[in-house]
Amino acid sequence: MVGKCKLCLRNKSLQKISHIIPSFIYRESDLFHEHNNLIKFDLTKFLEAGEAKVLSYKQKSGEYDKYIICKDCDTNIIGNYESYASKFFFADSLPEDKKLEIRERKGFVDCLNANYSKLKLFFLSILWRASVSERPLFSEINLENSFEEDIRRMILTNNPKKDTDYPIFLINSRLDKSLPSDYLFHPIQMKVGKEKGFLFGFGGMIIIISLGIEGIPSSHLENRIHENGLVSTYLIPPGATWELILDWYSKK
């Protein structure tokens, strides 16, 4: 199908399948269950009713839209960010001379040599795709036009801007065995300090992206993705994940 690509804005042949959450996340995080089906549930309704209402047992692919971006943008631009991110999160595949430098400190794991541009634009590409998507799972991810356009240009031109522009915070829940690591949450809008922010949760990770830094305590702001390659990931203590999720979802 030929149409206007939402990323490069050119009339080109569009991809029939464009994943919102990259396919490697589903594959490497065991988000597919019996018979290779994706099982997910509406977390908001779960918190309200206490029951996990399954949205789909039949879906055999991750969440995707049809005909929103062209092959060039999907493969050469977004694909470039995804290729790096897959190696960052599943680092065993990295060659010896590109191994991640990891430092552990109380409550955090730091990576000291991340590719700031690729990693940040990878997460912003998920936010942007969720905003332009018409899939019900991403119904709460609605960027204002000015932000959506700004992020589109950043992705297209490989421009991550400063680390205080759209700061990104990573949280790892894999130490908390009270919550399975193979979850896919309904993404929500939330407050981050005085700013609007967005929360995504999948595969043992929680990602919070803020539209600015106003009102964010300096101690929290330090634990973002940094321009110098430092990525500080907060480790949720065992047994504390559900309490945090209840708090976030009750305030959204």
Max mean pLDDT range (33-47, 90-104, 165-179): 165-179
Please tell me the predicted confidence (pLDDT) of residue 32.
41
Considering its fold, how many domains does the chain have in total? 1
Q: Is residue 49 pLDDT above 70, yes or no? A: no
- Where does the chain show beta strands of DSSP type E? 2-4, 11-13, 18-19, 40-41, 54-56, 64-65, 102-105, 108-111, 168-172, 188-192, 195-202, 205-210, 231-235
Q: Which two structure tokens, joined as six digits, stand for 87? A: 């190696």
The average pLDDT across 207-228 equals 95
The helix/strand/coil state of 196 is strand
pLDDT tens sequence across 83-138: 998 888 876 656 666 678 888 888 899 999 999 999 999 999 999 999 999 888 89
CA distance 151 to 147: 6
| Residue keyed to tokens 């594959």 | 27
Q: Is residue 10 pLDDT above 60, yes or no? A: yes
- 130 membership: H or E segment, kind and range: helix 116-132
**Residue 70 in contact with residue 13, Cβ under 8 Å?**
yes
Query: pLDDT-based confidence at 244, cuts 50/70/90?
Result: confident
CA distance 175 to 240: 10
Q: What is the domain extent for residue 163? A: 2-251
- Mean pLDDT lowest among 36-45, 58-67, 136-145, 162-171: 36-45
**Residue 179 in contact with residue 222, Cβ under 8 Å?**
no
